[in-house]
Every structure is written in structure tokens, then in C-alpha cells.
Amino acid sequence: MSISKKRIIYLLGALLIVISLSMTPSLIVSLLYDEYHCTKAFLITMIICLLIGILFNRRHTPSISSIKLKDGFMIVTGSWLLASIFGAIPFIISGSITNPVDAFFEACSGFSTTGASILTDIEALPMSMLFWRSFTHWLGGMGIVVFAMALLPKLGISGQLIASAETPGPTLDKITPRFSDTAKNLYRMYILFTISEVILLLIGGLDLFDALVHTFGTVGTGGFSSHSESIAYFNSYYVHWVITIFMIISGTNFNLFYLTLKRGIKKLIKDDEFKFYLRIISLFTMLVTFDLAITKTEVNFLKALTESIFQVSSILTTTGYATADFDIWPTFAKMLLFMLMFVGACSSSTGGGVKIIRILVSFKLIMRGFALKTHENRIINIKVNDQKLQSDTVSNIANFLFFYIFLVFIGTAIISINNYDIMTSFSSVIACLGNIGPGFSMVGPTMNYSIFSNFSKIVLSLLMIAGRLELFTFFILFSKHFRDSNRA
């Protein structure tokens, strides 16, 4: 066995130990609610994970600092797959979800912070299982922060962030001298947001369990709820607005918060991506509100505004919570949400999707195309935050967008084998690839993914992970260049 393989196994072993430990809170919840069959399920899974983890870890401890780029892709994709497989075991052992594919789908949806569910009756699930489901969001959201901020730069993508690996965002070295410090700071931020949302939700009258579950769903931009009606269950403006604000925060570039703390609010306000993000939210909220008001879908203006901003931020940040069944909204409002599904959150946030920065750059690219049509030989640079983008960077962004579009079409074709209507197939793929959760028609906010065949569920699960890992990290493993890196 080569050194790199040993190293991969070693790291995956470490991950299993982490997963095993991360089940502790759920174990405690199961004890508190007297769900002993769940306690048993968690204990068994924890022991399995721990044993395999130690077995993997026992052999040899290679130095992590010398991880190659190629191994990095393997480790990251492997981590998400392993986490989803082992995260599914408690569901199966406790009998909460009997079909293993369903359990895998649910765990994938959790760790990829998608929030798509196959459960027809959420309330029927034991409390501790609900807790575990939402906790995977929190872990997944945190994981993506590590992945984006700490691990990948370490893996050799020299000091750049993975989500914005293609954009000249603030590089890690600029924030703090050492990457582990940056990671720590980002964790602090993540935990700070979590605690403040829990407190605010507790003030809003939620019990601790609901407050925790929905906080995990929000800050991880996941979307699992403990109620079938999602956030609409609480029927309180206060709760809706608190969750809206935290969704928007979680969809923002986490680096910006750190920079803001250090260098003042100016950095935040002047950031091109953040400005574009806020503009999209306000424009789309306004349009949806007017549409709801004019078509008299919602007579109360305040309610229309609350529902619009909630739904717009929920889809844009790829959270996927719902306060209303937007599938019965007028087509114009639905079309606006549909467009947002292609946009996604900011880079280096816990959200998924194409990411605002890429949309911004592609708009600038189109504008440049126009300018070049009038002046053929002119040299025009694309700038973000007053920094010139290299032509390589721009074409990487376009490559990503094309790959995304390509996957949406191919995915739709594969899912349509189930023979549900086109909108169902189409939106389920977009919702999973963009880590959103609810789509339209038969996967709308009041529906779920249980209608699909096992094969489709596996395809959708893989799309969720691929979308979470920015497509290339996942699909690179299937490339012939990956297996033989000398190939031209």
C-alpha cells in the first residue's frame, strides 16, 4: 500500500472517530426523552465507528502537512460519503427509517445541508432521531467551513479558499498568519451565531429542543425541521424574522465577518459580492411581495412581506425552510424563486448553489462580450473588488457554470425515468444539486422525496454531495486524468 493510500485511510479513520463522538448529544437527547431503542442505536453506531476508526488509525501516522492535491480530493469526497453512510446507521438500527437507501438519502441530505427529506410524517420520528438529523446539518455546515477555509488550502490550493478558489477574495494568509488560527476564528463565529440564534428563538417562545433543531437548520443552511409544516408551524412574525436574519447571515461569506471585526464595517459594505447579495435579496423580495399583494394571494401586506423575504432568503441561501406553500403561489413568484435556485449563497458561506460571486462574474463576462462586439480589439478586464481577474480564473468560473448546467440536464434526464412530470424531475435535481431541499410540483415545500425509486434517491444523494463539494472535487475522481496524472 502506497503512502498516500495509508494517509487517506488514516484521515478517514480520524473522521470516523469524530463522527462517533458527535453522536453524543443525540445520545443524551434519547436518554432525556426515554427513547431507549434510539439510545441503543446510537451506542451501537458509535461503537462501530470508533472501532473502525481506531482500526484505520492504528497503522501509521503520516504527517498531514504533506498531503498532495490528488489525495485531498479523495479525502474530502470520502469524508462526506463516509459521514453519510455511517450517519444513516442510527436511523436503520432504531427502525425509524426502514429502507437503507432512504436512510442514506436522509443522512446525505443532512451532511450536505440540503434539507430534502423522504419522511412523509416527520413528527412520527423519535425526538433523538430528529435531533440527529438536524445536528448533521450543523456538522455539515461546520464541515464545509473547515473544508473551505482550512483543509483545502492546506491541501495545496495555495492559500486560497475553495469556494472562492477562483476569485481573488481575501486569502487566508492575509487574515491571520496561520491557517489554524483562521479556522478557529471561523468556528468561533459559527458557534457565536448558533448560540445567539438559540437564545433569540428561546425568547420567541420555542422550547429548547425546537430552538436547537431550527438553529442547526438555519446556521448550516440546511432546512430540516421537527415539524411537517416547517417554520409555518410557529406562526409567529418574530420567529420568522429571526430565522430570516440568521439565514441571510449564514449565507454571507464568513471571512467578511472576521474582517469586519478586525477592520470595521467598511470592508463589509464595500464588498462586491455582499452588495450584490443584498441587492438580489431586496429586489426579489420586493417583486415577490408585489406579486403576492397584486394577485391577492396574501391580503395582509405585512404577512406578504414576511413570507416573501423568508422564502427569498430561504431559497437564495439554499436553506429550504418554508413558511408558506410557495408551490401554489402565482407563476411569476414561482419563477422568481426558480431563478434564485440557480444563484445560491455567497462564497465561503455554509450555503450551496452556484454562488453569488460566480453569477456576478458571469454577468460581467456577458457585459464584456457586448463591449467586445463593438470594439473587437479592445482589452477589457473583469474586476471584482477593484482587483483584476485573470483570464484563467474567469474561464474556471465559466467552466463551473457549464458543468452545473450540464449536470442539471443530465440529472433531469436520469430522474425523469421515474416518469413524474417534467417540473418535478427538473426541480428535484436543481434542489438537490444546489443543496436547497424543496422544489416545485411533487417535490414542493409540502411534499417530500419518498416518491422516487431507490435508484433515483441514490443519484440525488450523490448530486447533493457533488453540489456541496463544488462539483469538481467530486467528479474529478472519475476522470481519467485523475487515475493517470501523467496523461496529457
- Which residues would be at the binding site for another protein (CB under 8 A)? 69-70, 73, 157, 295, 330-332, 334-336, 338-339, 342, 362-363, 365-376, 391-392, 395-396, 398-403, 405-406, 409, 412-413, 416-423, 425-426, 440-441, 472-473, 475-476, 479, 481-482, 485
CB of 422 to another protein, least distance (A): 6
Nearer to another protein, 7 or 334 (CB): 334
The residue count of the chain comes to: 488
* 3-class secondary-structure state, position 307: helix
Nearer to another protein, 241 or 338 (CB): 338
Q: At what angle do helices 272-294 and 301-316 cross, to 10 degrees?
A: 140
The dihedral over CA atoms of 441, 447, 450, 456, expressed in degrees to the nearest 10, equals 30
CB of 341 to another protein, least distance (A): 10
Calculate the alpha carbon distances from 224 to 231, 312, 321, 413 in Å.
10, 17, 7, 27
Distance CA 421, CA 317 (A): 26
Nearer to another protein, 31 or 365 (CB): 365
CB of 307 to another protein, least distance (A): 18
Cell of residue 380, nine digits = 477589457
CB of 13 to another protein, least distance (A): 26
CB of 136 to another protein, least distance (A): 27
The dihedral over CA atoms of 147, 151, 155, 160, expressed in degrees to the nearest 10, equals 70
CB of 347 to another protein, least distance (A): 16
Nearer to another protein, 176 or 441 (CB): 441
Nearer to another protein, 226 or 396 (CB): 396
In this structure, what DSSP letter does residue 171 have?
-
Q: How far is CA 345 from the centre of its chain?
A: 9
Q: How far is CA 120 from the centre of its chain?
A: 22
Distance CA 171, CA 164 (A): 9
* 3-class secondary-structure state, position 388: strand
Nearer to another protein, 99 or 416 (CB): 416
Nearer to another protein, 69 or 191 (CB): 69
CB of 270 to another protein, least distance (A): 18
Residues contacting 184, CB < 8 A, separation 6+: none
Distance CA 232, CA 311 (A): 11
CB of 365 to another protein, least distance (A): 6
Nearer to another protein, 167 or 473 (CB): 473
Nearer to another protein, 68 or 227 (CB): 68
Kindly state the greatest CA–CA separation across the chain.
74
Distance CA 109, CA 464 (A): 7
* 3-class secondary-structure state, position 205: coil
CB of 338 to another protein, least distance (A): 7
